[in-house]
Structure 1
């Protein structure tokens, strides 16, 4: 049956169209004013909105509501309450007040706080975020909210994001007014996060402890075929995958999520979804919801959606590209170069602000993408290196060089793509993004931050980027304020000239995968923070604390709490992986290995008894290798167990994290190498779990 997609789109969202139809005009105007200008929402307005929201939700079949928030777990949280209220005569009415809409009181005791609150101070508050639309899912009205402690500290990822958006808007408007663009009253951060993921068969998934507990395979010999033929990327969709993607699109469209692009990615069983841009706050909510809908939809198709950054060894992992730009309230993209970027001083100011921000706070950019899972992906020939650099492309690099050297910039001629086939249409080649190894690339009218891991919230990198750019713009404003209009172009030229000399070291248009770049980056003084424990201490360096506190994004206490939470998450993740590996090897792999060795020995003895002159040298050699591997793995598991017990004894979480990186992960890798080598010698029917062959090629 043909579906009316425009009618389907946003059908489960309390969006602007619904608000216009359901709310009195004065209430609608007051709510729009709050959404657009951040003004306070009065309780009488909230009451009217709550009544309309409840009526609409009940019409859509909802019986409950929940304050939906994003604690520091990296996931979302929800507590469902029904609309029913006893009426006193043994019946109930469906009720929902403005107070219930605006504020909730979930128990905060079991969420990560990093020491922000004592255990007995369990109360937390959720506060309605009217800038992100409410929606219905599974018979419940979901209300996007911020989450804070009893003392008002942010315990979530939404609150600091909203703060950073306000800070950037404030500084951007100031600089725009200084440049003569006085009509702008606000600037929004817009992002479009691309999402990579794997699909595996659910029945096979259930046979792997590592996938269930850790999201990645801890052992597993490579399949004879991986991604060597480069035939999966953009390849035709298999029927089962196409059916999943079709249903996924529809589920996302119902929720007003603008899913646009879908395709196969490089690795077998890997795929990607990309949305249209949204305001950062809404886009973050959309992405969290997208990941959840991906998993739920896969489950209905008897598949599992894996969002871990490196589910399978030896093939590409999954990332999340954060496409970031700035848009005025008039709809102008501040990162649009125009036809003559060299003469577009407004564009050049904002371009230079981003370059300065990334150079000065590259360590925090790296922190924003740090996780135990992403450590397995960054730096491989599939993802950006851990060194943060910017790719600008030839034209913009030449523009900045001409400013630095006070030389004339002759606009580069557009080059037509020559295909040699006259029947094909003519078009011009892009002068910007041709470098897929860059972690931070200018891509026409936006920047694309490619370091993020596939399972991560896109909130943190945008908090860092927004705040760092706000700081750069604030410093530019101090330099330019008071400049006469007729002198502004020269003043901007001199400002950019000084800035590019200082910050050009972060610009790199070459191959980020080479060892030569690692050495060159070191000479330039760029950070190379390879692992999560290496980079997290940057969060609590004074320059970064000053950045966030001066712009009122985090308090000092909130910064240290997040540092502790990130460290704790890293340690717990590696501990769980180590315990899972120990259990898999002890309960599954070693018994299977022993049984297969005995089976081969019995077969050899039977042959020898039947044919005394038959050679059993090959069989003896195989059994010898299996036995040796058994002993090596057994002793390795015992050593790993002692190392696991050592983790809890460290006085600081930083030391525990360093130990996990330098010891636990190294021991796990050694065990894996031995197990993978011997797995390749064991028939699939003798193995206690599905192999890579089955996992990657069963759908």
Structure 2
């Protein structure tokens, strides 16, 4: 019953249903079906599903429909949207116009413009695949990832996902190897499914990318040269309160953040990005969003768009989105968990064990192949996620270590252990967890717990690759997983065929091969705490690599067996593998060089002047009080500490400069990266120790930069 004096609150205006506008800026198959002739649509479907080449007539029809649709959405330009080896995306905008003989203009967009373009390749990384004066490169339409409209302030652009290759045909991007790996995986997986009489005609990797990020006020961001240019704070004393109260994770979302999230999600939904989850993460001002699974190629494109949208929309709200792996010391960094699985055109998830995994021979065959693939190529897998930023995060008791291991969970570990022994695993009844409260029904317990410390963990019907860094392009680790698994599935097929040729029945042959493979690779399986020192020691005993730095980890790309593996499966040529190795080495050296220059410049132009100014004021105060006979022992001690820290920081900056000059003279890419890693980078922490100590000694109003307590708690 309503009280007679109660006020009626105005109704909250209802937001439009997501389904009403989801994908409205995407030129997908559903839109295409309405706008192009039936026969042309059939050809496009075959291009998407079977990789058939699209003829020029069909391409012209698609281009015409795409242009009409894009212009109706406000687009004036189009671009071939591609992912060069910088790790980011690239685009060159061309207007939908052509000049007629009378000086008028017409909107034009042909099949040739859709299918192929020619951006200048000379300014993108190539790792020696071309010389600077050989500028020609080509982008080619990827029909498996739909075109989309990207709306910016004042305009809109039609973006066409494309591959990017050099004049000689070498891949200069991350999409091309990913697509090749998807084809290799399809071929290999189908060869296994044929053994089990599957009716599947296509197998593909699926992917769900959890994206972690930080938000800070844009004014703080602009006031920090290190955040602005390096993506992380190179200096900063810890805030008295960090994440120790464990009150931020899944906590209520601040209004300003919520406004950003809803705006960001709305734009993502328009682009057909199926974002499902949003929440606070562990560290202050750290957050996460996660989508529903998609085919891996589309999921990678969508994640690249997610990162772009985050940065642009955060700016609208006066915020800065930080995608770097470790922007703040002393609190958790950010990752990008890649949830990887295998799907079929018949709707099956090949990594779903079913109610009785011990009887699901097809599942066990694929599972064992994945374990063997990670075991045999663990350093390559480590190389696929390495970067200067991820080096700060891996192994820091907040993320998996640099040791690549596999977590399977108690049930599957027992199934494989029994398989190795030749023992039949007994089925288990479903287990329930009771809350002890009559009104709350019990919940069904999963077969596996979640091991948050494992880099590559089985989580029910997928593997979660948790070692990927937040700023990474997922195409690289996913293409690597696809490739190593495809290779092992082909080997498994050969071994089963050989066993059957030797007279064994099918089931007996499969079990023999699985038993052998698990025995060879079980050392990569670990069910315990990956953060512990005990695991580091145990992993060393097992012979598992533990490369903690990028220069060391990148050797995984340059191993003879890695190069041969990519070449054998047609994912990367030998030249393309070597080029990526060199590009990543150069990128690492450049990252550290930028940070080195920032450390030196900020020390000399911001911190030392502020400290010397305070030091002079303190010295004058001490001298004045001492002349009056006032006790100044504590103040004199403070003065000595400030002066000592200033002197130490100055000496450190000089040593850093010398180390930088020596490293900068090294020409060999591997030696240069190693020099910046071992000779230059150690000075960062030494200088930071002095500067952070000064931050806690100098008056807050005299400190030249925003502090951690402001950036992480004020918004």
Q: Same fold (TM over 0.5)?
A: yes
User: Would you say the 8 A contact 2:600–2:656 is kept in 1?
Assistant: yes
TM-score, normalised to structure 1, is 0.98
1:503 maps onto 2:516 in alignment: no
Aligned-partner Cα distance in 1 for 2:521–2:452: 22
1:204 maps onto 2:220 in alignment: yes
Alignment partner for residue 94 of structure 1, among 107, 113, 136?
107
- The equivalent residue for 2:579 is 561
Matches within 5 A, 1:201-600: 201-481=217-497, 483=500, 487-600=505-618
Aligned-partner Cα distance in 2 for 1:598–1:433: 59
Q: CA deviation at 1:223?
A: 0.3
Aligned-partner Cα distance in 1 for 2:362–2:510: 9
Q: CA deviation at 1:608?
A: 4.7
1:698 maps onto 2:714 in alignment: yes
Aligned-partner Cα distance in 2 for 1:421–1:675: 55
Q: CA deviation at 1:90?
A: 2.6
- The equivalent residue for 1:142 is 159
SS of equivalent to 1:47: helix
Aligned-partner Cα distance in 2 for 1:606–1:89: 86
SS of equivalent to 2:433: coil
Q: CA deviation at 1:683?
A: 2.0
- The equivalent residue for 2:93 is 80
- The equivalent residue for 1:626 is 642
1:678 maps onto 2:694 in alignment: yes
- The equivalent residue for 1:49 is 62
Aligned-partner Cα distance in 1 for 2:505–2:347: 28
User: Would you say the 8 A contact 1:388–1:439 is kept in 2?
Assistant: yes
- The equivalent residue for 1:28 is 41
Aligned-partner Cα distance in 1 for 2:621–2:290: 55
User: Would you say the 8 A contact 2:340–2:462 is kept in 1?
Assistant: yes
Where in structure 1 are there 5+ consecutive unaligned residues? none
User: Would you say the 8 A contact 1:391–1:433 is kept in 2?
Assistant: no
Aligned-partner Cα distance in 1 for 2:192–2:458: 22
User: Would you say the 8 A contact 2:205–2:341 is kept in 1?
Assistant: yes
SS of equivalent to 2:432: coil
TM-score, normalised to structure 2, is 0.96
Cα shift readout 1:125-152 (whole Å, capped 9, x = no counterpart) = 0000000000001310000000000000
Q: CA deviation at 1:244?
A: 0.7
Aligned-partner Cα distance in 1 for 2:504–2:636: 90
- The equivalent residue for 1:601 is 619
Q: CA deviation at 1:606?
A: 4.4
Q: CA deviation at 1:307?
A: 0.4
Q: CA deviation at 1:443?
A: 0.4
User: Would you say the 8 A contact 1:87–1:93 is kept in 2?
Assistant: yes
Q: Could you tell which deviates more after superposition, 302-311 or 639-648?
A: 639-648
Aligned-partner Cα distance in 2 for 1:522–1:665: 26
Aligned CA-pair RMSD: 1.3
Q: CA deviation at 1:607?
A: 4.2
Q: CA deviation at 1:226?
A: 0.2
- Provide the aligned length of Structure 1 versus Structure 2: 696
User: Would you say the 8 A contact 2:663–2:679 is kept in 1?
Assistant: no
Q: Could you tell which deviates more after superposition, 421-430 or 346-355?
A: 421-430
Q: Could you tell which deviates more after superposition, 250-259 or 600-609?
A: 600-609
- The equivalent residue for 1:165 is 182
- The equivalent residue for 1:657 is 673
Alignment partner for residue 136 of structure 2, among 123, 147, 152?
123
Aligned-partner Cα distance in 1 for 2:18–2:222: 35
After the TM superposition, which segments of 4 or more aligned residues of structure 1 sit over 3 Å from their partners? 481-486, 603-609
- The equivalent residue for 2:169 is 152
Aligned-partner Cα distance in 2 for 1:133–1:410: 47
User: Would you say the 8 A contact 2:338–2:466 is kept in 1?
Assistant: yes
SS of equivalent to 1:376: helix
User: Would you say the 8 A contact 2:403–2:545 is kept in 1?
Assistant: yes
Aligned-partner Cα distance in 2 for 1:684–1:323: 44
Cα shift readout 1:533-558 (whole Å, capped 9, x = no counterpart) = 11111211111111101001111100
Aligned-partner Cα distance in 2 for 1:660–1:422: 63
User: Would you say the 8 A contact 1:179–1:488 is kept in 2?
Assistant: no
User: Would you say the 8 A contact 2:250–2:281 is kept in 1?
Assistant: yes
- The equivalent residue for 1:3 is 16
- The equivalent residue for 1:37 is 50
